[in-house]
A and B are shown apart, each in its own frame.
Chain A
Amino acid sequence: MSAVKKFFRPYIKKTVVGSLAKMAEAVLELMLPTFMGRIIDIGIAQENIPYVARTALIMFGIIAVGLGCASICQYYASTACQGLGTDLRKALMKKIQEFSYKELDRFGSSTLINRITYDVNQVVQAFAMLIRLVSRGPFLCIGALIMAIQVAPKLAWIFFILIPLFVIVITVIMRSSVPLYKKAQLRLDRLGQILRENLGGVRVIRAFARHHEEKKRMDEATEELSNAYIRVSNLSALMNPLTLFIMNMGIIALLMLGGIHVNSGDMTQGDIVVLINYITQVLYALIQIANLVVLFTKAYASSGRIGEVLTCENSIENGSKTDICKNGDIITFDNVSFGYSGENTLTDISFSIPRGTAFGIVGTTGSGKSTVINLMMRFYDVLKGRVLFAGTDVREYNQTALRNCFGIAPQQAALFSGTVADNIRWGCPEASDEQVIAALKAAQAYDFVSKLDEGINSYIAEGGKNLSGGQKQRLTIARAIVRKPLVIILDDSLSALDYQTDSRLRESLKEYSSGSAVIIVSQRISSVRAADCILVLDDGECVGMGTHEELLKNCGTYKEIFETQSKAEGGAVA
C-alpha cells in the first residue's frame, strides 16, 4: 500500500483543487432550497414580484457557478486519476522488465497481467470517485444538517434520528450482501471453468459420447449461478424501498410536527418545504457513499497487490562488464548446484564447452536440463559454484551484454504478433531481408514461409495461431540463429519436428553457424548423438559425459534411453 501511496503525490494539488471545486458545488446546491424558501416566505407573502424575479436570477447565477465548479472538479479528477493509472502501469511494466526468472516464477504471468490491467483500473476508478464524490457526500450530509438546524432548530432532531437509521440500514445490507456476491462470483468462475474444460476436451467428450452428462453438469452450474445471483440481488433490492420508507416516514413526521410549529408561529410554510428538500439530499448522498464503500474495498485490495509487485526485491544484481574475452572455453560450469526452492534441482555439475563445438544435454523430463540453460544465461543465480562465460563469472557481466551472446530457441515456441520478418528480427534488429531468409532456410522454415501469401512479410496472428507446432518451432530457431551468436541453444525445440526435418535442420545449422557453439537439449538421442560432447542428467546429477560411443560403453542411463528409442530393431542400427 505504501508503495502505491507515493504515486498519488504528484496529483495532490489536482486532488485538492478538484475536491474543493466539488465542495463549492455542494455548498451552492445546498443554498438553492433556502432561496426557494425565501421566494415563498418573503416574495409570495409580501406579494413582491421583483423580489421573486431577483431571487430566481440569483439562483440561476448559483447553478451556473455550480456547473463551472463541477466541470473544474471533473477535469482534475479525470486527468489526475488517469495520470495516476498511467504512472502505475509504466512503473509496473518497468519493474517486470527488471525481474529475473525467479520473480517471474513467483508471480506467474497471468497474475502480472491482471495487476497491470484489472488492479490498476480499480485504483483509477476509486481515485476518480474519491475526488468526485467522497468530499461531496459527507459534506452534503453535514451541510444539510447545519442548514436544517439554522432553518428550524426545533425540528432538526428528526435529522439526528434519520441519518443514523439510514447508515444502519445501508451498512447492514452491504455487509450481508458482500459475501453473497463473492459466492455468486465463484459460481460464475466455475461456469467459465466447465466451459473451458468442455472446449479443451471436446474430442475426448465426444469420443466417450458424454455430452449428455456434460450438459447435465452445465445445467446444474447455470442453475446454481442464477440462484446465487437472485439471492444477492433480492437482498440488495431491499436497499431502495427501505431507505425510501425511512425517508418518507421522516417527511410525515416533519409535516405533522411542522403543522404544530407553524400553528404556534415558530415556523413558516417555506421552512417545511426547505426541510423536505434537505432530507432528500441527505439520503441520496448517503446512498452514493454506500456504493463507494464497495469500490474502495476493492481498490484497497488492488493497491496492495500492485504494491507487492512494486516492492518485490529483484534477486539478481546486474554486473558491469560488457567486453567479452576472445579466448578460452565459451562456457564453464564449476561445481554448480542450484535449487528453485529448498531441494536441489542441480547438484555439483561441472563441464566446459569449447568455442564452436556442439554440446548435447539429455535426460528425462524434470532432470534439470533446462535449468542448466537458465543458469548459463543467468536467468537465475547459482546457489553454489560458478558459471563462467568466456572465462569470467556470469555475475560480473552486464546482463544485456551477456545475453546478446546467446541465441535461444526455447521449449515453448512463443511468437509475437507482427510479420514473420519482425519476429525473426527479434534476434537481430538490423538484419537485412537476405539475412532473414538465410536464417529461415537454415532453420528449414523457408519452404513453408515462401508458400505463405506474402512470404516473410506475412502476418503472424496472436502467438502464431495460424501455424502448426513444428512451423512455430522452426521460426523460433531461425530467430535464435539470425544474429549468429557465440552460443546457440536449442532447448527441446525440435520435439514437434519429425525425424527427417530434425536431422536436415541439424545438418544445415552446422553450415550456417560454423563459428557458434551449439547446445542441444533433447529427449531424443538421435538429436544429440552427433555432438562433440553429451551431458547426461538424471535427477539433477551428472551421470555421464562424453561422446555418443563413450557413453554407450560407460553410461547406464544413456544406454537405457538409447535402447528404448531404438528398441525394436535390436542390432540392426546399433
Chain B
Amino acid sequence: MKQFKRFLKYTRPYRLKIILALLCAFVTSLAAIISTFFSGLAIDTMIGSGAVNFASLARILTALAVIYIVSSLFQWFISRYANQVSYLIVRDIRRDIFASLNRQPLSFFDGHPHGDIVSRFTNDADSLSDALAVSITGFFTGIVTIIASLIFMLFLNIPLTVTILVVTPICIVVAARLTVFSQKTFRKQQQEVGNLSAYISENVGNQRVVKAFSREKQAEEDFNKISDDLYNAASRAMFASALVNPTTRFVNNIGYIAVGLTGGILAITSGTSVGILSSFLIYSTQFAKPFNELSGITNQLQTAFASLGRIFALIDAEPETPDIPNAGELSDCKGEVVFDHVSFSYTPDRPLIKDFNFKAQPGQMTAIVGPTGCGKTTLVNLLMRFYDVTSGAILIDGKNIQNLTRDSLRRSFGMVLQDAWIFDGTIRDNIAYGNPKASDEQIMQAARAAYAHSFIKRMPNGYDTYINADTLSQGQRQLITIARAMLADPAMLILDEATSSIDSLTEIRTQKAFLTLMDGKTSFVIAHRLSTIVTADCILVMKDGNIIEQGSHSKLLEKKGFYYDLYNSQFH
C-alpha cells in the first residue's frame, strides 16, 4: 500500500490525462451498455411478417449508429491517453533510477551484479508500463461496465437479472481458483527455467573449459536431467493456464443458457419480449467479461507491484553521503597530498589501513607496490573519495578533502586504470570525455602526445571513427585513455595497474606516453611490474594494509627488506 501511495506520486504530473482517460472509459462502457439495449429495442420492432415498425426501427438504428461512432472514437482516445501516461510515468521512473545510481557510492557497483541492475532498469520497468496501460483503462471500464449493465438489467427485467447474478459469482470463483492453481504451477516452472538458464549460461559460456576437461558427456547428462524437470513443470503449468479460458467460457455459457431458459419461460408466461431476451443474452457476456478481465489485470498488477518493489529498492539504496553544505571547490590545485593518520576499513570488523601517514610534494611521483590484495587500490579509492576514511584526514593543498565537493576533487585527478574504459562513440568523443569543450586541435595534440595520433590516422574515418571496446587492441585502448587524461590536464594523476594488461613490447610504446603524461604532475602509480616504477621519487611498500617500507628504489634495495625480496623474485 505504501508502495502504491508512492507510485501515485509519479502519476501526479499526468493527472489531467488520467482523468481524461477515465472520462473516455466512462463514456465507452456506458455506450456499449446502451447500444446493447438499443439493439434489443430494434429486434422488438420486428415482431413478424408484415408487423415491422419501420419508423421506430429507423430511429433506433440512427441512434445506434451515433452511439457506435462515439464509443469507437472514445475507445481510441482512452488507449492513446493510457499509453502516453504509462510510458511517460515509466520514463520518469527510469530517470529516477538512473539519478539514484549516480548518487550511489562505489561499493554499490562492486557489490551488485550489473546484470541485475540492468534487468530492473529494462525488464521490470517495461512490465510496469505494460501493466499500467492495461489497468488504467481496464480497471475503470470494468467497474463502469459492471455497474451500468447491472442498472440497465434491473430496469429491463428483474428475474433475468437475478439469473445472471446467480451465475456470475460461480464464474468468478471458478476462474479465481484456477488462476491461483495455475500461478502455483507457473512459479514452479519459473524456478526450473531459472535452473536451466543458470546451467546453460555457465556451461555453454565456458564451453572451452568443458571441452578441455572432457566433461561433455557429464554436461549433457546433467542438462538432460534439468530439461526433464523443466518439461514436467512446464507442461503442467501450460496445461493449468490453458484450462482457465475454456473453463470460464464453460461457466459463461452456463449463464448464457440459463438466460435463454429463464427468458424463454418468461416470454411464454409473462410476455417478456424477444428483444429484451436478446439484450440479456449479450448482457450475460458483457457482465461477466469485466470480472474475467479484472482477474487478469490483478495478476498483471501483482507482477507489476513486484517489479515496482525491486525498482524502489534500487531507488532507495543508501546513497553516498552528500557533499557537506558549503563544500569548497578545489581549483588551481598545486598537487600537494598529505595522508594524516588515515585509517580505513571496508567492513568494520576487518580494519584494512591503519594510521597511515605520508606526504607527496607537488610534481612528485609516488609508487605503491605490494602483493595482491594488500590494499593498494584502496589508497586510490580514498584519494578520489570513492570511499571515505574511517578516521584521520587526507589533505590536498592543505585542504581536507571531506570539505571539498567530490566533483571538483575528482576533476583535479586524471586516472588511467588497468581496464581501459572505452564507450561506444567516436574516437574524438572518447578522448574529449574529460573536456568536452576541447577544440579539434587540442584533441589532436593530446593524441599526439599520447602516441595515439598515428594509429588513429590510419583508422577508416580518423578521429570520427566509431569505436567500441572490441574494435581496438588493449594497447590502443590504453593510449586513448592516456590521451583522455592528457587532454583533461589535471594537477594530479593516478595510474592503477595501467600497463599490466599490455604485453611488454606494447608497454615500451606506451611508456613514453606515460612519461609525457606524468611530467610535472603529482602522480600515484600502482604496478605489478616493478621495472615501471624504479624512477619514482618515493615507493610505498604495502603489506596487509600497512605501509611497511617507504623510500626511493635504491634506498629500499639497500635495506634488503621486503621490497628487496619482492623485487628480486621477479627475476627468478
Contacts and interface: CB of A to CB of B under 8 A. Distances in A.
B172 interface: no
A499 B570 contact: yes
A49 B95 contact: no
A195 B109 CA distance: 12
A187 to B, nearest CB: 11
A229 B48 contact: no
Interface string A522-543: 0110100110000000000000
Contacts of A565: 504, 529, 531, 570
A276 B39 contact: yes
Contacts of A70: 243, 245-246, 249
Interface stretch (B2-10, B215-223, B454-462): B215-223
Nearest to A46: B268
Contact of A200 (B260, B421, B481): B421
Nearest to B205: A109
Interface in A398-412: 399-400, 403-404, 406, 408, 410, 412
A208 B504 contact: no
B274 to A, nearest CB: 5
A192 B372 CA distance: 33
Interface stretch (B61-69, B337-345, B348-356): B61-69
Given A269-B274, A417-B198, A255 B504 contact: no
Contact of B208 (A43, A104, A248, A404): A104
Given A82-B235, A245-B69, A263-B54, A526 B571 contact: yes
A248 B68 CA distance: 7
A322 B188 CA distance: 44
B471 to A, nearest CB: 15
A215 interface: yes
Contacts of B247: 67
B503 A498 contact: no
Contacts, number: 420
Interface stretch (B407-415, B443-451, B512-520): B407-415
A233 B220 contact: no
Contacts of B27: none
A158 to B, nearest CB: 14
Given A207-B410, A226-B87, A259 B46 contact: yes
A269 B197 contact: no
Given A255-B57, A259-B52, A269-B274, A564 B386 contact: no
B551 to A, nearest CB: 16
Nearest to A401: B214
B246 A263 contact: no
A44 B72 contact: no
Interface string A486-530: 000000000111111111000000000000000000011010011
A40 B274 contact: yes
B204 A240 contact: no
Contact of A66 (B219, B250, B569): B250
A226 B88 CA distance: 6
B204 A96 contact: yes
Contact of A56 (B238, B261, B269): B261
A233 B569 contact: no
Interface in A91-111: 93-94, 96-99, 101, 104, 109-110
B234 A85 contact: yes
Nearest to A251: B39
Nearest to B58: A256
Given A499-B528, A500-B566, A78 B220 contact: no
B440 interface: no
Contacts of A191: 94, 121-122
Given A97-B216, A226-B87, A564-B507, A79 B204 contact: no
B128 interface: no
B528 A498 contact: yes
Interface in A226-278: 226, 229-230, 233-234, 237-238, 240-242, 244-245, 248-249, 251-252, 255-256, 258-260, 262-265, 268-270, 272-273, 276
A565 B571 CA distance: 9
Given A74-B246, A99-B207, A39 B227 contact: no
B242 A569 contact: no
B491 interface: no
Interface string B541-572: 00000000000010000000000011011111
B209 interface: yes
Contacts of A85: 231, 234
Nearest to B69: A245
Contact of A564 (B68, B269, B505, B535): B505
A203 B80 CA distance: 42
Nearest to B44: A269
A32 B256 contact: yes
B268 A237 contact: no
Contacts of A240: 75, 79
Contacts of A395: none
A262 B44 CA distance: 11
A408 B212 contact: yes
A56 B528 CA distance: 88
B264 interface: yes
- From B90, B274, B417, residue with most partner A Cβ within 10 Å: B274
Interface string A50-79: 001101100110011011001100110111
B51 interface: yes
Contact of A36 (B224, B260, B370, B488): B260
18 contacts: A56-B261, A71-B243, A97-B219, A208-B410, A210-B433, A241-B75, A244-B75, A249-B65, A249-B68, A255-B42, A364-B503, A364-B504, A365-B474, A400-B214, A403-B211, A498-B528, A499-B528, A499-B530
**4 nearest CB pairs, A to B:** A237-B79, A265-B49, A70-B246, A52-B264
